[in-house]
Structure 1
Amino acid sequence: MQKIYIASIFLIGLFLTACQQGDPNTNIDEKEQTTQQEQQADQSVPKKETAKTEEQDNASDGSNDNESAKADDSTNEEDKQKEIDKHIAKVEKSTGLHVVDNPESPEVYVNKQRTLPEGYVPPNLVVPDVSHYSSEGSPKRQLQKVAADALEQLFAEADQQGIGLVAVSGYRSYERQKQIYESAVANKGQEHADKFSARPGTSEHQTGLAMDVASATETAATLLEQSFKQTDAGAWLAENAHNFGFIIRYPEGKNEITGYNYEPWHIRYVGKEIATEIYNKDITLEEYFGYDY
C-alpha cells in the first residue's frame, strides 16, 4: 500500500512538470509569431524611411520645378528688357515693321525694319545758319535743334580749313517721302528705289537728324552722287564728321548691312560719343547697336 502511494505521488509530480514546460508545438508557434512580429517591425522601419525619401525627392523635384519656373521668368524678363533696350514700342501687324519708341532721341535708329510712329513730326525744328541749296522757307533746311547746332559747328570748321559745304536736304515729312519713294519706283523700278530711297516712315530725314551735304562748287548734275567722295569736300566730311557728332550713315561696302547703297553725302547726327566709336571701328549704326531691326 505504501509502495502504491509513493508511485502515485511520483506520477503526479511528472504530470505537474509536464504542465509547467508546456506544449512544444505551442512554444514553436509562439517563437514563430515572435519572429514574424520582429520581421514585420524590421520591415516597417525602411518603409518609413522610404516614404520620407520619396517625400524628400518630391520636395526636391518641386523645388527644381520652382527654380526652373523662376529661371524661365527671369529669361522672359531679360528678353523683355532687351526688347525695351531696342526701343521697340510695337510691331505693325500689316507690315511687320518695328515701331520705335524714342523718335525724338539722337540715338533713334530707323531702317528698312524699323519705322517711326505714325504721324511723327520732330520737335524743335530750326533752320541752321549755314549755306543752303534749297530755297528760303523750304522744310529741307530744317533739323532738330541739337543737330542744327552741330551742323553749324561742322560747317564753320570746314570753312576755316578752306572747304566749302552746302546743306542740300534735311527734314522730310512722311508725305514728302511717300512722293519721293513712289516717284523712284515709277521711274526706276522697285529694286532700284529700295537701294536708294526709304519707304515712308522709315526715312532718317523724317527724324530731323539727317542732312544731305554737297560741295559748294557742285552743279546740279553732280549733286548727291557717289563721286562726291572724290572731292575735297567729300573727303574732308568723311574724316571729320564724327568730331561734331555726325556719321556717314550709309558707308561704302556696307549695303548688305544697311540695306542702302553708298551715300557719301548723307550724314546723320548721333552725338560725338557714338559717332567717334563708329568712325574708329569703321562700322555702321546697325553694327553699333548689334541688331538689324
Structure 2
Amino acid sequence: MKKNKWLFIVALSTIMVSACQQDDQQSSPDDSNPSNEQQEQTEDQSAPDDSNQAENEDEPAEEEEEPFDEETMSLPTEYFNEIEEVDGQAIIQNPDNILTFVNHDFLLPSDYEPEDLVIPDVKFSYGHQDIPKSYMREEAAGALEALFAAANEEDIELAAVSGYRSYDRQQELYDQAVSKSGPDQEFVANPGSSEHQSGLAMDVSSASVNYSLVQEYEDTEEGQWLSENAHHFGFIIRYQKDKEDITGYGYEPWHLRYVGEAAIEIYENQLALEEFFDLVKEI
C-alpha cells in the first residue's frame, strides 16, 4: 500500500468497506425556508511472559489480508454485486457488501435495512437526535468519526446532515421532487437506487453555507478540505463534477460514500464509482 494511504482507520482495514438529499425529520431546518428545499429533496494487565515473547519472536507476524489489491486492481467476487432480475429491474442480492454498487441500474431490495446501523459520535446540523437520518452502518460511522476528528484538529467545522434513509422515505422524496421539477430532475434518486438506503452514505455541510446542501459548498474552506481529505478515511465524493453523464446525478460536493481502501484509488485517478467497477478485476 502507498505510505500515505488511509492510516487513520487501522481497525477497519480487514474489509472494504442518490443521489442524496436531506431527509426531513423533527428539529430539522424549517421546511418553509427556500434554502432548505434542496436538502429535503435533495452517530489486571500483567507484563508479557518473557519466554512466550522469545518464542513469538521466531514466528513471522501474520499480515491481515486486504481485499483490494492496488497493483492488479482486483477484488474478490464477494465485493461485486450479486444481481437478480425482478420485474425487469436488477436487484442487488448482497446489499451488506461494503462496496455495494448502487445507482439507476442496480437497486437495493425494497425491504433492505442494514442490521448494524448506529449513530456516529459527530456533530449534526440539527443536534444529536435518535432519528433515522442520524444513522450509518457501524463501520462507516467509525470512519466518519475519524474524519470529523481530523477536520476538527485543523479547525474545519463539519456537520452531518443526512445518513440512512428507508426505501419508503426515498419514495416520498422522489415523488415530491418529480411533482415540483418533473421526471428529469437529477438530485433525488428513485427508491431503491439511493445510497442512503445502504447506510454507507452521509451528507455533510457547514455553517458557512447555513448547513444547506448546495453546490457552492465546493468553494468553501470546509468543502475543499473534505474533497482533499475524505479518501484518507475511506470516503469518496460520490457524485463528482463533470461526471454527471456517468453517475446519472448532478454534482454533490456534500455527499460522502464509504468504500474503504478503494477510496484511495478512486480519488487518485478521479474515478466515479461506475468507472472504478469498469476497471477493477474480479478474482
1:241 to 2:243 alignment: no
- 1:222-266 per-position Cα deviation (integer Å, ceiling 9, x unaligned): x10000000000000000000000000000000000000100000
Task: Using structure 1 for the length normalisation, give the TM-score.
Answer: 0.66
CA positional deviation for 1:134? 3.3
Q: Give the match's secondary structure for 1:91.
A: strand
Cα distance in 1, alignment partners of residues 242 and 163 from structure 2: 24
CA positional deviation for 1:101? 2.1
Q: 1:274 aligns with which of 256, 262, 275?
A: 262
Could you tell me which residue of structure 2 aligns to residue 284 of structure 1?
Answer: 272
Could you tell me which residue of structure 2 aligns to residue 54 of structure 1?
Answer: none
1:126 to 2:118 alignment: yes
1:142 to 2:132 alignment: no
Cα distance in 1, alignment partners of residues 249 and 148 from structure 2: 26
Task: Using structure 2 for the length normalisation, give the TM-score.
Answer: 0.69
Give yes or no for contact 1:88–1:98 (8 Å, CA) kept in 2. no
Could you tell me which residue of structure 1 aligns to residue 164 of structure 2?
Answer: 171
1:89 to 2:77 alignment: no
Structure number having the greater helix percentage = 1
CA positional deviation for 1:91? 1.1
Q: 1:215 aligns with which of 196, 206, 209?
A: 206
1:1-293 map, 5 Å? 86-93=80-87, 96-134=88-126, 136-192=129-185, 195-219=186-210, 223-271=212-260, 273-290=261-278
Q: Give the match's secondary structure for 2:253.
A: strand
CA positional deviation for 1:85? 7.2
Cα distance in 2, alignment partners of residues 171 and 127 from structure 1: 10
Q: Give the match's secondary structure for 1:290.
A: helix
Could you tell me which residue of structure 1 aligns to residue 42 of structure 2?
Answer: none
Structure 1's 186 and 245: CA in aligned 2 closer, same or farther, altered over 3 A? same
Cα distance in 2, alignment partners of residues 163 and 91 from structure 1: 45
CA positional deviation for 1:138? 1.6
Cα distance in 1, alignment partners of residues 141 and 108 from structure 2: 20
Structure 1 segments, 4+ long, off by >3 Å, are 82-86
CA positional deviation for 1:187? 1.1
Cα distance in 2, alignment partners of residues 227 and 255 from structure 1: 17
Cα distance in 2, alignment partners of residues 118 and 250 from structure 1: 23
Give yes or no for contact 2:79–2:99 (8 Å, CA) kept in 1. no
Cα distance in 2, alignment partners of residues 237 and 117 from structure 1: 31
- 2:118 is matched by which residue type in structure 1? V
Structure 1's 186 and 141: CA in aligned 2 closer, same or farther, altered over 3 A? same
CA positional deviation for 1:124? 0.8
Query: RMSD value over aligned CA atoms?
Result: 1.7
Structure 1's 186 and 146: CA in aligned 2 closer, same or farther, altered over 3 A? same
Return the structure number with greater relative CO, CA threshold 8 A, min gap 6: 2
Q: What 5-or-longer segments of structure 1 have no aligned partner?
A: 1-81
The number of equivalent residue pairs is 203
Cα distance in 1, alignment partners of residues 202 and 77 from structure 2: 29
CA positional deviation for 1:186? 0.6
Task: Select the structure of larger CA radius of gyration.
Answer: 1
Q: What 5-or-longer segments of structure 2 have no aligned partner?
A: 1-75
- 2:95 is matched by which residue type in structure 1? P
